[in-house]
Structure 1
Amino acid sequence: MSPRVDEQNQQIRDRRKQQLLAAGAKVFGERGYAGTKISDIVGEAELSHGLIYHYFSSKEDIYIELAKTAFMTSYETIRRAVQSSGSPYERLKAMTEGIFATPRESGHFFLIALQTNTSKTVPEEALAISREYSAKTLDLLKDLFQEGQKLGEFIQEDPMGQALMYSSLLNGVVFTRLTYPSLERFPQIGQILRMFTDTRFVKE
């Protein structure tokens, strides 16, 4: 078999795997882990039932890969923003705008992350992934708030508490946007930033 044919076959395999993962994200997001069957994912992907086992051994494997994608993507988004140039306030503003500009279709990954942290039925490995990346994310945010406090940009509150508050606020807003998809101009970024900004530090 020629290298070109090998490459084409690999591309087909990659597309099918992504097709299955996209279907899994939608079904798990809508039905939860316990309420999802392999047949549901196959049906959503519109592929043959036997094909899925060329890529995944179980629905648990699919869920774990999706959970890893959800938490890693969130972490990387925040890491890039926190470690970018600009003042702490500017980085917090850019990060908040970027997160809320995420397409609504990614809401399935948010729901997977949410159920990983709240459901007792999800695989333990998915929960371990959540703990790892959530801790790393909070450490990044804590460092950002700490830096901003030293420069007088942010209010003087416990930096880890502020990191938790910001993270909780983001989760709440994303959940609200998924619940009420017709909402427009929500959230107002300025409202969020004012919760963390020192009143003596004025930014338009």
Structure 2
Amino acid sequence: MSPRIDEQNQQIRDARKQQLLEAGAKVFGERGYAGTKVSDIVREAQLSHGLIYHYFASKEDIYIELARTAFTTSYETIRQVVENGGSPYERLKELTEGIFAHTAGSGYFFLIALQTNTSKTVPEEAAAISKEYSGQNLQLLEQLFREGQKQGEFIHADPFKQALMYSSMLNGVIFTRLTYSELEDFPQVDQILRIFTHAREEE
């Protein structure tokens, strides 16, 4: 078989795997892990039932890969912003805007992350991924809040608790937005920032 044909076949395999993952994200997000069957994912993907086993051994494997994507994407989003230049206030604003924009287009991954953090039925490996990356996310946010306090931009409070409050608030807001789609612009980013930073005029 020629390299060109090999490449084309690989592209087809990658596309089908992505199709299954997108279908899995939607079904798991809507039905939860316990309420999802492999047949539900296959039906959503509009592929033959036997084909799924060329890519995944079980629905558990699909869920674990989706959970890993959800948590690693979140971690990289936070890491890149925290380690970028700009004042702590500017970075916190950029991060908040970025998270809202990202979850507006990938709400199912947020729901997968949420159930991985709260459900006792999800695979243990997925729960372990959640624990690892959630802890790293909080460390990055704590670092950002410490910088903001040193530079006088953020209010003085326990930086870890501020990081935890910020993370909890964003989770609550995203969940509300997914529940009530008409509230896309609620709350405004500046409303959230005012809770953690000293009041400042809009530039």
TM-score interval for Structure 1 and Structure 2 normalised by the shorter chain: over 0.9
Residue of structure 2 equivalent to 1:112: 112
Q: Shift of the alpha carbon at 1:101?
A: 1.5
2:160 corresponds in structure 1 to 160
Distance 1:15 1:103 in 2: 23
1:172 aligns with 2:172: yes
Aligned to 2:22: 22
Asked if the contact 2:33/2:122 (under 8 Å) is kept, the reply is yes
Question: How far, CA to CA, are the matches of 2:189 and 2:120 in structure 1?
Answer: 34
Give the residue type in structure 2 aligned to 1:148: G
Structure-2 residue corresponding to 1:83: 83
1:181 aligns with 2:199: no
For 1:69, the equivalent position in structure 2 comes to 69
Paired position in structure 1 for 2:9: 9
Structure 1 residue 184 displacement after superposition:
4.0
SS at match of 1:187: coil
The alignment status of 1:136 with 2:148, answered yes or no, reads no
Unaligned runs of 5+ in 1: none
Question: For residues 36 and 75 of structure 1, what CA distance do their matches in structure 2 show?
Answer: 27
Task: Report the TM-score, using the length of structure 2 for normalisation.
Answer: 0.97
- Aligned-pair identity in percent equals 77
The separation in 1 between residues aligned to 2:141 and 2:33, in whole angstroms, is 30
- Equivalents in 1 of 2:17, 2:88: separation in Å? 39
Query: Residue deviations 1:133-173, cap 9 Å, x none?
Result: 00000000000000110011000000000000000011001
Please give the alpha-carbon distance, in whole angstroms, between the structure 2 residues aligned to 1:17 and 1:182.
33
Q: Give the letter aligned to residue 190 of structure 1.
A: D
Partners of 2:103 and 2:110 within 8 A in 1: no
Following TM superposition, the consecutive aligned residue runs of length 4 or more in structure 1 with deviations greater than 3 angstroms are none
SS in 1 for 2:36: coil
Deviates more, 1:59-68 or 1:98-107: 98-107
Shift of residue 198 of structure 1? 2.3
- TM-score, structure 1 length as denominator? 0.97
**Hey, what does 2:149 align to over in structure 1?**
149
Mapped contact 2:154–2:198 kept (Cα < 8 A) = yes
> What is the rounded CA distance, in whole Å, between the counterparts of 1:99 and 1:70 in structure 2?
12
How many positions carry a matched residue from both structures?
Answer: 202
**Counterpart of 1:42?**
42
1:105 deviates by 3.6
Equivalent residue number for residue 57 of structure 1: 57
1:80 is displaced (CA, Å) by: 0.7
Q: Give 1:195 deviation, angstroms.
A: 0.3
Partners in 2 of 1:105 and 1:96 — Cα distance? 15
Secondary structure of the corresponding residue to residue 185 of structure 2: coil
Code of the residue aligned with 2:21 in structure 1: it is L
Is 1:191 matched up with 2:191? yes
Secondary structure in 2 matching 1:35:
coil
RMSD: 0.9
CA distance change for structure 1 residues 68 and 184 in 2, over 3 Å: closer, same or farther?
Answer: closer
